[in-house]
Amino acid sequence: MKAARSYSAAPDAIDAKLQSALLAHDWPLLEKLCRQALRKNARHLRAHRMLGFSLHKQRRTEDALTAYKQGAALWPDDAELLINYANVLLENLRNDEASPLLERVSVLRGDHAMAWVKLAQCWYDTRQHEKGLEAAEKAVGSAKNPTERVAALNQRAIHRRELGQIREAVRDSEEAIALNPLEPANHANRLLFMLADPDADAQQLTRAAREYAAVFEPVLKPQWPDFASQRHGPWRRLKVGFLSPDFRTHSVMYFVEGLLAQLDRRQFEVWAFYLYPQVDAVTERVRCHADHFVPLDGMNATAQAHAIRAQGIDILIDLAGHTGHNALLAMAHRAAPVQVSWLGYPATSGLSAMDYKFTDEVTDPPDADDQYSERLYRLPTLFCSYRPMSRQPLWRYQPLYQVRPTPALQSGHVTFGSCNNLGKLTDEVLALWGQLLHTVPGSRLLIEGKNFDKPAFTASYRERCARLGMDVAQLDLVPLDVSNQYLTYHRIDIALDPFPLTGGTTTFDLLWMGVPLVSMEGDSFKSRLSTGILTYLGRSEWLAQNAQDYVRIAARLAADVTQLNALRLGLRQEVERSVLMREDLFNHHFGEGLRLMWLQWLAQGQHPGDPEAQSHLIESWLPDLPAEWSTPLVPGVGLAPGERVPLPEAQQRLQTLLETARTQAPGKHGNIGQGSWAEVTRLAEQVLAAVPQDPVALACLAEVEHAHGHTEFAVTYLRYAQEALGRAAQ
């Protein structure tokens, strides 16, 4: 009996110690106690639960996953252990591994809302939106308190948005805000979904953003630093920070990479603050482009703000807005003297802590200022500069991606098309496209989107289109496949833009591929993205004022296939020569904007509330502007993190490598994956990632391809090299 009492008392004592360490947030001690418990009893359930938890809290992700895996093997029906295990997997975007765990949890705890919430969350990133919506509905139905209901509503909203149920998604987000206004995700979802809601105008979007700011900013404002130590040096080299979760394979990089690579280093030191838990090949390029790369993922907003301030950043530029993994709350803490919004979100942040927003005169016309909490800085060119093929920079020059004749020449009918996110294709959009199909006999409509590889979803989508008056016999639904990016445009004669949330990156992509676009002019940035792009391209004749005009423009383009083909074959050259892709001009104007923002901040500090005195002070500084800044800028190439060389030096290294490669036999069977030839290719790609269309790098790649028997590739590289030399001569 004594032995029995001793045996039964031991677990109680261990559990008490584990609980004490947990409540004290002493994660190393908790880990130590868990390991001690497991040495005595390898099946100690509480120790298995807490070991993975303690390791995760110490940011030892792989160790935590190993511990959870071992525990799940022993306790496959313990819902608490499984859901904690799955949470770590979800945080690290390993949804495929989390899915079976969460499905098991939903069986074990089918009456628990959070089991269904996590399953819905898992299915979002794996694009299983119908299953995700079903799980979210079960979560809403089984929620027993406001916290559970808010989590369930959030999941239902994000899946509804992906399935085109925009108004319903907005309503779910608004109910979540009413239940818990202190959860930032509730506000972010509402703002994101309102972008595509035909019932939400620009002023409503602005009010919603200001409501977000009113919840989170007031308590932080009294703690804002004055940055007195940085208030000097109108012409000193400034530390400019770019804050983003998207320094990876993401549409933002089509517009940011060129700026990170070539922002004038005589004036600016470039810092990249990264907010996402994973890295990829694009992230590695950013590490080379930026002067400093700082991961901030996993920190709370206060810690992020402190980390940015610790670097002495002068101007902080947010690239995310209200999109996922953003750090707007870090900016609400006032992390830098000057804070700027740009690019990632097509509306206001709502924050008074955000001083400026980069835009342009067309996308944000003169009467748009009241739509923003930020002060608008209108660039003299489009608000961004486009660079195609962010995923694979060398594919830009490959034959597969060259513009082809318009497909109607072969098919005998005109194909209209859209490759935009399906969430933008509201009932109003689809109904208008149905009218267009009736107007142009024999035409077809191609829509590319997520989940069209699933028969049930595709059938449901066809039924929706039929209800809206479309002849579904004219409809081609193409599953979204990342490997087909750009290639689907070979199948489209004329692209159709959604509204009120128009295409952004998609608009640039299709124009570069030679596909003309019909778009509807709107009254705010979100509905004028394509308006700005087409205007600066010089193709405003493709912009419609109303639905009737939209159909007329599209039908006119479709009426003459020969003319349509001539337009297509010349459109890429138009785009590449326009300001849409003039990174040199854009970077110069962007740098001017940063400097002016800095001068204004300094002047405001010396003469607060006196704009006239501020202007006089800035004018007094102008004669001291460094003369060397007016000389031509020599581009730089980031070869490795912290190693940046002038372009001529990188070109010389490239030619030296090529001379060495010439002395060696090419790889067998055309393989370039080894030896000096591979080194030439790698360095040429680095050069082109920094300076697209560099003729030296292109010529070197042509020689590599020729040496390996890839004649078509070699010819294409040479053609681009010759075109680049021609532009340089001009």
Q: What is the rounded CA–CA span in Å between residue 425 and residue 261? A: 35
Q: What is the rounded CA–CA span in Å between residue 517 and residue 94? A: 37
H or E stretch at 93:
none
Q: Which two tokens stand for residue 180?
A: 């818990």
Q: Is the pLDDT of residue 287 over 80?
A: yes
DSSP secondary structure string for all residues of 377-396: EEESS-S----S-SS-GGGG
Q: What is the reported pLDDT for 3? A: 36
Cα distances (Å, whole numbers) of residue 346 to 341, 375, 383, 454, 526: 10, 15, 11, 31, 5
Q: Which one is the CATH code of 642-729: 1.25.40, 1.10.3470, 1.10.760, 1.20.5? A: 1.25.40
Give percent of the chain with pLDDT exceeding 90: 90
Query: Could you tell me which residue, 647 or 196, shows the higher pLDDT?
Result: 647
Q: Quick check: helix, strand or coil at residue 516? A: coil
User: Considering Cα of 626, then 627, then 628, then 633, what sign does the dihedral take?
Assistant: positive
Please write the tens of the pLDDT for every residue from 91-148.
888 988 999 999 999 999 999 999 999 999 998 988 888 899 999 999 999 999 999 9
Please write the tens of the pLDDT for every residue from 64-79.
999 999 999 999 999 9
Please write the tens of the pLDDT for every residue from 534-589.
999 999 999 999 999 999 999 999 999 999 999 999 999 999 999 999 999 999 99
Q: What is the rounded CA–CA span in Å between residue 383 and residue 275? A: 23
Q: What is the reported pLDDT for 8? A: 39
Q: Which residue has the tokens 């489009």?
A: 382
Domain 2-216 fold: 1.25.40
Q: What is the rounded CA–CA span in Å between residue 537 and residue 531? A: 10
Note if the bond before 608 is cis, omega within 30 degrees: no
Q: Is the pLDDT of residue 9 over 50?
A: no
Q: What is the reported pLDDT for 1? A: 33
Name the segment(s) of the chain with CATH classification 3.40.50.11380: 225-379
Q: Is 568 exposed, middle or buried (0-12, 13-18, 19+ CB in 10 A)?
A: buried
The stretch 382-399 carries a mean pLDDT of 95
CB of 451 closer than 8 Å to CB of 457: yes
Cα distances (Å, whole numbers) of residue 14 to 36, 41, 56: 9, 11, 21
Q: Is the pLDDT of residue 450 over 70?
A: yes
**β-strand partners of 357:** 341, 376
Q: What is the reported pLDDT for 11? A: 55
Name the segment(s) of the chain with CATH classification 1.25.40.10: 2-216
Residue 727 pLDDT class (50, 70, 90 cuts): confident
Q: Is the pLDDT of residue 667 over 80?
A: no
Q: What is the rounded CA–CA span in Å between residue 62 and residue 150? A: 31
CB of 119 closer than 8 Å to CB of 137: no
Name the segment(s) of the chain with CATH classification 3.40.50.2000: 404-573
Please write the tens of the pLDDT for every residue from 428-447.
999 999 999 999 999 999 99
Backbone angles phi, psi at 203, to 5 degrees: -70, -35
The stretch 261-286 carries a mean pLDDT of 97
Q: What is the rounded CA–CA span in Å between residue 389 and residue 255? A: 11
Choose among 713, 371, 667, 408: nearest CA to 558: 408
Q: What is the reported pLDDT for 2? A: 36
CATH 3.40.50.1380 fits domain 404-573: no
Residue 672 pLDDT class (50, 70, 90 cuts): confident
Give residue 448's Cα distance to chain centre: 19
Choose among 348, 502, 511: nearest CA to 426: 502
Long-range Cβ contact pairs of 30-39 (< 8 A, separation 24 or more): 30/54, 31/55, 31/58
Q: What is the reported pLDDT for 537? A: 98
Backbone angles phi, psi at 200, to 5 degrees: -100, 115
Q: Which two tokens stand for residue 548?
A: 């009737």
CB atoms under 10 Å from CB of 456, counted, come to: 9
The stretch 35-44 carries a mean pLDDT of 94
Please write the tens of the pLDDT for every residue from 323-352.
999 999 999 999 999 999 999 999 999 999
Average pLDDT, the chain: 94
Beta-carbon contacts of 249 under 8 Å, excluding residues fewer than 6 positions away, are 280, 281, 282, 390, 391
* Beta-strand pair 356-360/315-318: unpaired
Q: Which two tokens stand for residue 152?
A: 């369930």
CATH number of 225-379: 3.40.50.11380
Q: What is the reported pLDDT for 5? A: 36
The stretch 236-254 carries a mean pLDDT of 98
Beta-carbon contacts of 218 under 8 Å, excluding residues fewer than 6 positions away, are none
Q: What is the reported pLDDT for 674? A: 73
Q: What is the rounded CA–CA span in Å between residue 83 and residue 68? A: 10
Torsion of CA 70, 73, 76, 81, to 10 degrees: 0
Residue 451 pLDDT class (50, 70, 90 cuts): confident
Q: What is the rounded CA–CA span in Å between residue 348 and residue 357? A: 8
* Beta-strand pair 636-640/643-646: antiparallel
